[in-house]
Structure 1
Amino acid sequence: MLLLLYGDTIKEEYINEEVCFLADYLMKKSSLKTEGKDTNQKINFYIIVKSFLYRLTCEYDINFLNDYKLQEFLTAHIISLYNRQKNNEKIINPYKEDLLKNYKKDYEIISENIYILEEDLGIKLDDNEMTYILMHIVAALERMKQNVDELRVLVMCHAGIGTSQFLAEKLKNQFKIKIEDVVSSHYVKSRLFIKPEEFSQKYDLIITTTPLMGAPIPWIEVNPILTNEDVDKINKTLNEVSRNLPIKEETTIKNKTPLTSVKEKKTNENSKILFSTLLKKENILLDKNVEDWKSSIIIAGEPLLWEKKITADYLRAMVNNALDNDPYFVFAPGIALAHANPKYGVIELGGSFLRLKEPVHFGHKKNDPVKFVIALSVLEGKDNLDMIFKLMNTLCSKEAFEELVNAKDYMEIIDIFKKFEKQ
């Protein structure tokens, strides 16, 4: 790594860029190894990874769930990791120490939630494996930062205007920030605690040469000369603050797009499989009473049997999947995504939705009890994984969850899925 060559003098932005490059390389390498693998195995890992990303989303208060690249390549990496573990193959991460040093907080969050992968996969991960996972998460965070507008910064000094301008120019030259105002500490302190909303709406961060205890927005105290220690502190603060900012919409290309490309894009979008397109009155079951989790899977899957999407063997296989592998498919609070290996009786693609009158326990430590049971019959094909990605994202949305709980009929259920699949 660059750190090994240049030591601690290298800027953090280069470290981040290199981590992204290495993570991207590992992602592509892992994905090539898993091409052509069993579809059911991919779906199993897909769900387990989504459960892990759901927990990280809660911990960071940042949405990892919509990052398709992270979902795809982290799944591929976890499949490779799992196969290594089963073959008793050890791996050494040569960048482990540098990652632990530069991303200590991120590593702690991953360590606290790694049990999801360990328990669902029946394996134990060491620092080498976890730091490779860390690289994927850091790369995702860096991608998010690229889609966030420059931080709006207020520079505040207790000395004269000359010192203030000196500090502002040094900040402009060293950091990707937008300095909105340069003011005296007297001005800020006379207004900050009287009209806090004025500051929180206008600025994301205050960089100050004097303490601002109790300020309503993030602040950091620095020396106007900007020491190396100050630069490190500012970098860390900018990273933390930017992670909590909303991600801007993708910018549209101003140049005209060729007509053929527009047509191709529309054709591809129309041909994509969505869960909402599988739903109809007959396979949406609302407010049903069940004896236990087994009967909930059977009831959820029966519409697929009547529609001749599956055989009776597949119903039993979905129950056995939970018995044999634990309820890993209860991937988020209140949600079970029941499925099994297609070889046990999938005839064609299908899906159904069951809302239980009273939630039932599947035996999941974190995500019980379950309110919604979705039964899926999935065949080979990337489009099917794309559908599952959008389906799980919809179900992980708190807003969508509440709307599905309160929906009055099957038409509302379909409309809710359609609405959130577009997001």
Structure 2
Amino acid sequence: MNRQTSKLLTILLNSPGQYFHYEELAARFHVSTRSIRNYVQSILEFLEDQNLQPVLSVSEGGIAFTGGAEESSLLLQAAVDNDFYLYRLSPEERSHIILLTLLISDDFCNIFELSEKFNVSRTTILKDMEQVKVFLSRYNISFDPAMNRGYLLRPTERQRRDMIMRIIQSAMGAVFSLHREVNIYERFLYDEWDLENYFPFLKQLLLDMEQQYELDVSDACFEELLLMLSIITVRLERGACIRESTLEEKTFQNLLVYELAGNILEVLGRRYHLAVSEAEIQYLASKLYYCRFYSRAPIENAQDVKLHMALTSFLMKISGEMDIPLYEDNKIVNQLESHLRDIDKAHAEGVPLENDYTEQMISEYPEYFQLICHHLPTLEATTGYTYTRDDIAVILIYLVVAVERHFKNDILPKVIVVCHTGIGTANFLAERLSTNFNIRIMAVTSNHKLPDIMKNYDFDLIISTITLSEPEELWVKVSPMLEDEDILRLQKLFMDIKKDKKRMNVQPRPRESMPGIRSVLREENILLDTPCGDWKSVIQRAAGPLLMSGSIDTSYIDAMIQSFETNGSYFVYCPGVALAHAGPGDGVHFFGLSLIRLKKPVPFGHRLHDPVSWCICLAIQEKDERIQYVLRLMDLLSNPRILREMDGIRDRKELLAYLLEKEREESYEQ
């Protein structure tokens, strides 16, 4: 069973009772219908080999999983059985598992052992090893020179662990999951190292840390951490420690992840009698950072500040053109922001995000796709990389969901049900329709009353058990029992109706010239050559204009200082520039923004961006569209050339005029 076959099996198991046409599956997998039939035959042979019940309904046109939860669990468990996979691996899968074998071994592996293990010839193993060498060359890793003894890798311990995780993640793209899809690499690692023996204790440890630190982590990240901690534990038990420093700027700024990593490893050390080094704490801290396994505060560091603001600006631009306040849907916004950080993590680790629905989503929602692409530079300027089509499709999915949530019943297909055999049959059909589809039944009627009903009700489609005299585009004929083929045909019709309604309701508005920095930064809120002795006085002086105007009260200043003391120097978002801020509920009365230039630079404790010469102070309430103009100001100040020219301006009126001119120049370039 190769990866494609296992993906088909997963699709069937996740949709019990749903009938899939071979053509539909072929389009989803980008293969021929013959290939799909071969996948199905492979699954059927597997069921027979394992003496499992025939829980697949197979016909000439398609297939469906007809079993229940128990059969699904048994089938999935059998499918991930190690012995089964070792005899049915594709060349790509076998190469990856050979590499895993080498990575988890601290001794030599020879050709004979590998050919016996995978039940293939020595020639096949030699071919596979060429693929393994290509993979290793990307990371400047080679085999031990004593090749007469077999194959032995000598990567650093960090490289070894990261590569093991990378191989396992490659089965899913960038999205990690232990159980949603058959992952043969993961199962192989479990069996070789008996990892599941560690899971009960490690799972409880992570749950305890969540509660103790009031943390928030997604299921996918939790499972990834569970696997990662089990790998760390096994390697430490074998005396394999990370010795090189793994200090990174991002994790350096976040003290909480260091404390959390230290506490986790301390507990592991006591439980399994492990010796833990500072380098191990640094390594785990970096992994915790990328898993977002820490405080629920939405903004944790300089990059998060910019991403949060860039996403808000991006959604406000999209909302403006659609005339829908998408940025007010907190659930969608928070989920999308979290997913963008996962994309950021994937790019940082070089693991491409795979999205099985990319082409389907883009073809079904081309207007939304073009709208996203038009405003994508707002996000890309912050992340520093170009989004792929798969990345954009993720954003597209959230956009579609947000639009549908906004319109709710407005996009539901409105249906009239017609049956000439009797009102009871019509009501029975209406009940079947309501059970199978999310639609609005406007009326249930007989044929002779239909003309009056059509005059009195707004509707999208007539569903009838008889042939009607109305224009064919208005009605569709179905069986009173609503057969499977009727359901499939109606699914397509209802999807098209929803799509057309969204197009009518959501047409991008003509782009108009938008207000900019002038609307958020007042001349009197610019202070030049302000004397400050330390970071605390910088925050206090920058907040002065906002306090004087009544935009904030003194509690907001206290909250900014407390935030800095708790989270470190994340205020400093680029060389020489800080963004002082706190939460909307920390004493903000209305929007306020100030900009100060210090008489002498002041250190904030940032490892790369110190000292600070300019400080923005921001007070903003939730859902304020002016945040996009603040982002424009932040972007201008992150340009070293512009900052140097601003240093030479002595008049605040002239400085504001200069910023507005630079803003206009950048808008023309875009």
Q: TM-score, normalised by structure 1?
A: 0.46
Structure with the larger RCO, 1 or 2 (CA within 8 Å, 6+ apart): 1
For the pair shown, which has the larger CA radius of gyration, 1 or 2?
A: 2
Q: TM-score, normalised by structure 2?
A: 0.32
